[in-house]
Structure 1
Amino acid sequence: MPNRSNSAGLRTTARSVRTRRGAAEVEQAISDAVVVELAEVGFGRLTFDSVAERAGTGKSPLYRRWPDTTALVIDTLGKLGMDPAGYVRTGILRDDLIGFTRYMTSTHQGVKGAAFRSLLGEAQRDPELLERFKAEVLDPLFDALTDLLRDAAKRGEVSSERLTPVVLEVLHALIVKRLILETHDLTTEDITEMVDQILLPLVVV
């Protein structure tokens, strides 16, 4: 049986009872429903009918705004990303790499993480979906990590010469592999090992 628990904090985890709500509430319910549907059935089986039922609304609000499910999912991608401002830096590179990675892990667990992974394969077959996925989900994550490293370089903790496009690409690829593609949640021990054995050696001379 599918797990309908909502560890990612979304408001919609089960089929909602239809009640009188304002436009903003309906839109939020639809957005939350899309994420849960992606997690449970995947992009290929997501329909306006299933989203409307889970959101506790009729299909007319969906048809008025989105021409198809691809457009609906694309507009929902922002909910799958993380807010980099949610992590408060310590100013110590090792601590920040561990802390920031733990923060990223916490925002990609549960239903949101499952939805995240379900889109990876589909995005490769849909250029528009892939572009929005990168712009709204992956790029903010990578930009925040790069900014953290550049701040460390300004403090003299790492050499700015080490922060080449290739090194940054390797770091980003590792993050995708360990945080996104793994089906189990990373532990603090996993993250510390990754930072000490891979991330820091790549950037510290």
Structure 2
Amino acid sequence: MPNRSSSAGLRASARPVRTRRGAAEVEQAISDAVVVELAEVGFGRLTFDSVAERAGTGKSPLYRRWSDTTALVIDTLEKLGMDPAGYVRTGVLRADLIGFTRYMTNTHQGVKGAAFRSLLGEAQRDPELLERFKAQILAPLFDSLTELLRDAAQRGEVSSKRLTPVVLEVLHALIVKRLILETRDLSTDDITEMVDQVLLPLVVSEH
């Protein structure tokens, strides 16, 4: 089974050799190290020492910027998020639901996916972490999906009356379960099945 960690731009095992780097490079190395530490040992066992070692830097840059590991992880959450603008819509609802979900899958796999699952478990015990996780990770994903559906309603593909809060909540819950909580990456067949059997029937009115 191929190791997908390289596709996420992160190396899960090797610690980089310390070399002279600029501030931006050090910051990127720290962020990458946090993601891998979350995936490998979890939020509860992540420390400044372990992040500094994996990033190939001293602890001073961490202590200067973050008061504790919670602050460090919260600041790193943005790098785990998906950029909705990266998906170019086709203007056809079914194609966009499949394409957008595939795009989300591609940006939430490998080490990032493991970091997501780790944070979801730990965030339940840390109110601040949970709120930032919902605001920076989940909300942009859900907002983009809702916008996609509302655009389809304006085109007449679905009825706007079908886009109730309960229906949207069901769609969001399914996305979280299948996209983030699954330990394997979704295939195109998985995504197509989810769209055809659940997402479309929920929002398309029967004639």
Q: TM-score surpassing 0.5?
A: yes
Per-residue deviation, 1:161: 0.6
Per-residue deviation, 1:25: 0.9
- For 1:36 and 1:2, how far apart are their aligned partners in 2? 17
Equivalence for 2:138: 138
Per-residue deviation, 1:61: 0.5
Per-residue deviation, 1:4: 9.0
C-alpha RMSD of matched pairs (Å): 1.9
Per-residue deviation, 1:11: 6.7
Per-residue deviation, 1:6: 2.5
Deviation sequence 1:99-138 (CA, Å, 0-9, x none): 0000000100000000011000111110000000001000
Equivalence for 1:21: 21
- For 2:150 and 2:3, how far apart are their aligned partners in 1? 41
Deviation sequence 1:47-71 (CA, Å, 0-9, x none): 1001001111000100111111011
- For 2:60 and 2:123, how far apart are their aligned partners in 1? 27
Distance change in 2, residues 1:121/1:66 (3 Å): same
Q: Is the 8 A contact 1:5 1:13 kept in 2?
A: no
- For 1:97 and 1:133, how far apart are their aligned partners in 2? 23
Equivalence for 2:75: 75
Q: Is the 8 A contact 2:4 2:109 kept in 1?
A: no
Distance change in 2, residues 1:100/1:4 (3 Å): closer
Per-residue deviation, 1:24: 1.1
The TM-score, its normalising length taken from structure 1, stands at 0.96
- For 2:62 and 2:90, how far apart are their aligned partners in 1? 44
Q: Is the 8 A contact 1:4 1:13 kept in 2?
A: no
Q: Is the 8 A contact 1:80 1:137 kept in 2?
A: yes
Per-residue deviation, 1:2: 13
> Which of 81-90 and 8-17 deviates more?
8-17
Q: Is the 8 A contact 1:6 1:13 kept in 2?
A: no
Structure 2 portions without partners, runs of 5+: none
Q: Is the 8 A contact 1:150 1:160 kept in 2?
A: yes
> Which of 132-141 and 3-12 deviates more?
3-12
Q: Is the 8 A contact 1:158 1:203 kept in 2?
A: yes
**What SS does structure 1 have at the residue aligned with 2:14?**
coil
> Which of 61-70 and 13-22 deviates more?
13-22
Per-residue deviation, 1:171: 0.3
Deviation sequence 1:144-184 (CA, Å, 0-9, x none): 00000000000000000110111000000000000000101
Tell me which stretches of 4 or more aligned residues in structure 1 moved more than 3 Å. 1-5, 10-13
Distance change in 2, residues 1:201/1:3 (3 Å): closer
> Which of 83-92 and 4-13 deviates more?
4-13
The TM-score, its normalising length taken from structure 2, stands at 0.95
Q: Is the 8 A contact 1:81 1:136 kept in 2?
A: yes
Identity fraction in percent = 90
- For 2:41 and 2:12, how far apart are their aligned partners in 1? 15
Distance change in 2, residues 1:4/1:56 (3 Å): farther
Count of residues paired in the alignment: 204
Per-residue deviation, 1:12: 7.2
- For 1:13 and 1:105, how far apart are their aligned partners in 2? 23
Equivalence for 2:176: 176
- For 2:2 and 2:134, how far apart are their aligned partners in 1? 28
Per-residue deviation, 1:5: 3.8
Structure 1 portions without partners, runs of 5+: none
